Structure 1
Amino acid sequence: MENLPKKIRSKKLSIKVDLTAMVSVSFLLIIFFMVTIELAKPKMMEYEYGYRGGCGPEPECNKPDENRILTVLLDDNNKMITYMGLLYSPIQNPKEVQYGKEGIRKELISINKKVHEYSASMGRPEIGVTVIIKPSKNSNYGNLVDILDEIKITGINSYAIVDYYTLEETKLLAIK
């Protein structure tokens, strides 16, 4: 009995799982989702569209001043139409304008100068023109970038991009 082979028992290894990488990935995912949620929240900014001068909550005194609003309609084939004021009673009739130094840039500089003079007569010379850009569904992204570049070059700091067209504006764009 002495020469019997001894039973060899296998060693039980203790299993350790290293979770360091999983914790790092988890924190990165948490940070990623926190940042994307924060960036997805809608942002709101103040829009100065007229002379309020402390007139109060009356609807008449808080209306936008059409003497300071220039609307730019963008359509396909580099078509751009501008008008000043309201379309049904424009201060400047709608006209087709070309892109570039002698086109829209010259127009923006001229109108901004007139609006500053008008604002100075009202006691607020710091208020310039507000440009409302309305790209149609047929316009391309390059046209929108071009008009934004022209606004930046001319020093206009008040503009809005609107995707709503009135029926009259749609008819205006349809005219060849």
Structure 2
Amino acid sequence: MAEIDSSGGGKKGGKKRSKKMSTKIDMTPMVDLGFLLITFFMLTTTLAKPVTMQLNMPDKTDTKETSPVKLSESLTVCPDENKVYYYQGIPTEAGTVMQVTNYSETGIRKVIADMKAKVGNNFTIVIKPTKKAKYRNMIDMLDECAITNNKRYALLEIDPDTEALIKRSGK
């Protein structure tokens, strides 16, 4: 592993000098140990498991069986880029009021939790993302449904009536 060279150099006449000792260290075992440790830690580590969201899709059947949803038990949510529009009712009726909130705990999560507490388990969320909404906004809305333990929601394209209601609200 390690060698000590005790030769004092060449033999020339004259003064006697002290012998200089040089050392050589064989690094092969150290490199082997390093690779063994790297291999050990690579094989024993746990990698991050991907986090997925459970998304229930309806069966692909030819029968168009729909169940009616009461307007008093539903909330239409329109995620936008930085805010969330929501209303209850039909967008073409005069009494429908568009409200706006954000994606925080005191924003849309509180609105959903309050509505679910008021309505009960039959509460349904209709999600209609606006044209400016990003993919992240849609995921945030699905996360809010999961956080509030709401299993009844529907994803729809935004209709012109809802877009007109958003423009009329001026928010």
Question: Does the pair score TM above 0.5?
Answer: yes
Deviation at 1:91, TM superposition (A): 7.8
Deviation at 1:114, TM superposition (A): 1.0
Size of the alignment, in residue pairs? 110
Matched, 1:73 2:66: no
**RMSD (CA atoms):** 2.6
Task: Flag the structure with higher helix content.
Answer: 1
In the alignment, which residue of structure 1 is the partner of 2:144? 150
Mind listing any 5+ residue stretches in structure 2 that lack a counterpart?
Answer: 1-57
In the alignment, which residue of structure 2 is the partner of 1:122? none
Query: CA offsets, 1:106-164, max 9 Å, x none?
Result: 10010011112xxxxxxxxxx32110100122210111111110110001010011014
Instruction: Give the whole-Å Cα distance in 1 for the aligned partners of 2:129 and 2:156.
Output: 7
Identity %: 30
Q: Do 1:75 and 1:173's aligned partners in 2 also have CA atoms closer than 8 Å?
A: no
1:131 alignment partner, SS class? strand
Q: 1:92 to 1:109 in 2, by over 3 A?
A: farther
Q: Do 1:128 and 1:156's aligned partners in 2 also have CA atoms closer than 8 Å?
A: no
Query: CA offsets, 1:7-50, max 9 Å, x none?
Result: xxxxxxxxxxxxxxxxxxxxxxxxxxxxxxxxxxx943898744
Mind listing any 5+ residue stretches in structure 1 that lack a counterpart?
Answer: 1-41, 51-63, 117-126
Scaled by the length of structure 2, what TM-score is found? Answer: 0.56
2:163 aligns with one of 138, 155, 170: 170
1:132 aligns with one of 98, 109, 126: 126
Instruction: Give the whole-Å Cα distance in 1 for the aligned partners of 2:144 and 2:59.
Output: 25
Q: Which has the larger radius of gyration?
A: 2
